[in-house]
Amino acid sequence: MRPMLATKGTSVPIGAEWAHEVKWDGVRILADCGGDRIRLTSRNDNDVTIAWPDVAGPDVAGPGIPGRDLLVDGEIIALNHDGLPDFRVLQDRMHVRKGPAAARLARTVPATFMVFDLLRLDGRDLTDEPLERRRELLAGLAADGALGAWQVPASYDDGPMLFDATLQQGLEGIVSKRRTSRYAFDTRTPHWLKFAHRHRLSYVVGGWRPQEGAGDRLAALLVGEPTADGLLYRGRVGSGIGPKVGAQLAQLLAPHERTDSPFADEVPRVDALGTRWVDPVVVVDVDTHHTSRAQRLRQPSYQGVRTDLAPEDL
C-alpha cells in the first residue's frame, strides 16, 4: 500500500470545511500494527521496519498492544541543532537494513513518529469515513495511551494563521485537508493541499562551476556563511542561473579569482571538482526549502546579487 498524497496548492483555503496541519519535514510512513508486531512501509511501499527500532522496535510501548489492530499514516521526524524537524538529519537512518546499525543510529539520532491519520481500527476499515471522524478516533487512541510514544499533532481551523506561524517558526509549511475527505491509497488528492515555505537568505560566493560541455559558461555558484570560524560552505546553487545571468555573474566574479578555496571547511569533492575559486566578496540571495542557515541548502534557487550588502553585513 502507498499513502495518499496532497496536491500543491496555490492559496490557503478558508472556511469551516477545511482543517489545517503542520507539514512535517520527514519520512512518510504507513504503520500496520497487529498483536505484538509493527510493520512500517515507506511511501514507495518498501518494508523499512528494521531502520526504525525507536518507532517499531519490541521495546516501544503502546502501538500493537495485544488485542488492538491499527493502520496509521504519519511522518517520522528528527530534530536538527535548532530544534526543528529536518529531513536531512534522517539521511543516515533511512536506508539502514541491519539491526545493530539501526539501533546505534537510534541512540544518536532519535526519531519521533507523528501520526496524522487512522485508516483501520480493530479490523474496521476507516478509509471511507470522513477525515473528521478518523481524526476523532485517532485522538481517542492517543488519550487512552494506545499509541505510546507516537504523537498526534494538532489540527487547526485557521489556515492562514498556521501558514504565517509556521513561516515565522522556520517549519516546512502546512497541509490543508477537507474535513469530509475520504482516504484513497496511492492517489494524489485535490482534497489535501500542501503549502511549502521557501526561505530567502543571503550568502557569500566562494566559487563557481562551469557547465559541463559548455566551456566557461557559469552554471552554478558555491556559497557560504560568514562565521567566527571563517566562511563555512553551505551548498551549490544552480537553479535560476540561465545563460544570460551566468554571463553577468562570470563578469562580476572575474576580478576576484584565486587559486585556492576561501571556505574554512572542506567542500565535498563532488562540488569542488572543476570549481573556479573566488575571493568571498560578492553577496547573493538564495531561496531554499531548508529551515536553518547553519544547515546545507535544500533545493536552492538563485535570486540575485545583493549590491547593498557586504559579507561583514551578514
Q: Are 127 and 182 spatial neighbours (Cβ–Cβ below 8 Å)?
A: yes
In single-letter form, the type of residue at position 41 comes to T
Give yes or no for residue 61 having a pLDDT over 70: no
Catalytic hit among 23, 98, 194, 244: 23
Cα separation, 182 vs 179, whole angstroms: 9
Cα separations in angstroms, 243 against 186, 202, 206, 216: 39, 22, 20, 11
Kindly report the number of other CB atoms within 10 A of residue 208's CB atom.
25
Active site residue 23: yes
Low-confidence winner among 36-40, 70-74, 118-122, 172-176 (lowest mean pLDDT): 36-40
Give residue-wise pLDDT tens across range 236-286: 999 999 998 999 999 999 999 999 999 999 999 999 999 999 999 999 999
Give residue-wise pLDDT tens across range 80-103: 877 888 887 887 888 889 999 999
Q: What is the pTM of this model?
A: 0.73
Q: Which residues of 65-74 are buried (b: 16+ CB within 10 A; e: fewer)?
A: eeebebbbbb
Give residue-wise pLDDT tens across range 27-57: 999 999 987 789 999 998 999 999 999 999 8
Domains of the chain, start order? 5-196 (3.30.470.30), 199-313 (2.40.50.140)
Cα separations in angstroms, 27 against 158, 218, 241: 26, 35, 30
Q: Are 39 and 48 spatial neighbours (Cβ–Cβ below 8 Å)?
A: no
H-helix segments, 214-262: 243-253
The band of 213, judged by pLDDT with boundaries at 50, 70 and 90, is: low
Long-range contacts of 247-253 (CB under 8 A, 24+ apart): 247/217, 247/218, 249/208, 249/218, 249/221, 249/305, 250/208, 250/216, 250/217, 250/218, 252/282, 252/305, 253/205, 253/208, 253/218, 253/278, 253/282
> Which residue in this structure is represented by grid cell 541548502?
297
